[in-house]
Chain A
Amino acid sequence: MIGIQEQQNLFIRIAEKLPRKIEVYAIGGTAMMFLGLKDKTIDVDLVFKNVEDRKIFKETAILLGFREFSAHVVYGKRDNVPEMIVLGDVRIDLFLFKIISSYFSDSMQKRATQTHEFGSLIIRVADSSDILIMKSVTSREKDMDDIISIVKEGKINWNIVVEESKNQVSLGKESAIMNLGEKLERLTNQKIIYIPKDVLDKIWKLFNRQVKEKAKKSR
């Protein structure tokens, strides 16, 4: 686990050693900490724009005492696993634009407007609507708490959520709409959060259309 202060100090330490400016996107728990939705996270999730930036970041972190760690230990034999580095109980997941079960799309990058500058390390924070989508496509129970936290904050633009889930499907993440609908409906049925009915209707309508199109193609 890493708290807000430790995370800030970690970024400052890495930025001091970076040989050049690097821009990354914060997603998951890290992004939630920047948005004031969480006070600690298990891992620091960063998305890099290219392999070279990731390599430089990783080498710099290793200089500070981090060591490489096999991503398959955590994620199993799945596609798009990140490169991982650890120091004590702090783990940093270094992704490129494909993130296990979702894709950090161009529109997600454009929405990441919140900027945090640690010297040479510039971190752009993913929008809370996009974090919600990325959290909904995983199968981890702890992500449910994060979804609840994000929705309860009330800053979700549901149009973005619906449009982006459609975009994820077009990028090849076929289960994006289904997973989103299923998670949101479950939480609504349990009366933990309130999702506007028309949003859920829109999501299921999209899902039905997707099923029909797939059936047509397979014929």
Chain B
Amino acid sequence: MITKNNIFELARKLRGINTLKMIESALNVNRTRAIYIIYKLRKNGFVETKYNSDKTRIYHISPQNALGGTSYTEILNKYSPLKLMVSDVHQIYGRVPSIEETLIYTINRRTVRHIIASLALFRKVENWSDLYKRAKKENLVREVVALYDISRLVIPKLKRMPQRFKTLATPRKSDKFRYIIDGLYSIHFKKIEEKWKVYIPLNWDDLTDYRGEFT
């Protein structure tokens, strides 16, 4: 008998990636019973279902699924060809963060994988003035424009960034070069680096995930 009390314990016991067969053997139950257990777990919000390439269902069971909410990484993974797995949890409830917000958060993580993944988000930017405001707040305006220029090289039909954004981002003579990731600079994107006085932590080889992705 599955009660409200033991359904949580069941979710804890089955925590992780499961298939129907795995649940059958973990709980020593038959297929019908395993389907019923999944149904009960899903009703309580503990199950997220995904599909394998052969269309078998994969159940991600976790008590934390019941918390709901969205994370920046989920949004990023929705649009980026490079999918990220992160250990630090940052969940947002009651609203869905905008692409502009996600882009700034992602750049601010300052890891190579985050920077590569962030390029895909430029395709989805709708509100450039919001992006500028957020970038200015985090002192990332030059970084955003430089990464936009990189994303133009790998993503076709990218929306144009307003000229005003670029004008405001243009570095002064007195401005010094800035690193996105300390100590990392590019061999292949020197021109963009010099234009925006920002060291790009990427080379062509880092962008292989984008090859053919948007064409």
- Write the residues of chain A forming the contact surface with B, with a CB cutoff of 8 angstroms: 4-5, 8, 11-12, 15-16, 34-37, 39, 113-119, 125, 153
Q: How many angstroms from the CA of A15 to the CA of B93 in the assembled complex? A: 10
Contacting pair B64 A12 (CB below 8 A)? no
Contacting pair A116 B94 (CB below 8 A)? no
- B1-40 vs A, CB cutoff 8 Å, 1 = contact: the mask equals 0000000100110010000000000000000000000000
Of the residues B8, B63, B67, B90, contact of A8 by C-beta under 8 Å: B67
Q: Does B95 contact A (CB under 8 A)?
A: yes
Chain B's interface size range is 20 to 34
Nearest CB in chain B to that of A119: its residue: B94
Contacting pair B91 A116 (CB below 8 A)? yes
* B70 → A minimal CB distance (Å): 10
Of the residues B63, B64, B88, B90, contact of A117 by C-beta under 8 Å: B90
Q: List chain A residues, Cβ under 8 A from B8.
A: 39
Nearest CB in chain A to that of B8: its residue: A39
A113-B93 contact, Cβ under 8 Å, with A5-B66, A35-B64, A36-B12: no
Could you list 22 examples of A-B contacts with CB < 8 Å?
A4-B67, A5-B66, A8-B67, A8-B68, A8-B69, A16-B94, A34-B67, A36-B12, A36-B15, A36-B62, A36-B64, A37-B63, A39-B63, A39-B66, A113-B89, A114-B89, A115-B91, A116-B89, A116-B90, A116-B93, A119-B93, A119-B94
> Apart from A12-B94, A36-B64, what are 17 other A-B pairs with CB-CB below 8 Å?
A4-B66, A5-B66, A8-B69, A11-B93, A35-B64, A36-B15, A39-B63, A39-B66, A113-B88, A113-B89, A115-B89, A116-B91, A116-B93, A118-B94, A119-B93, A125-B89, A153-B12
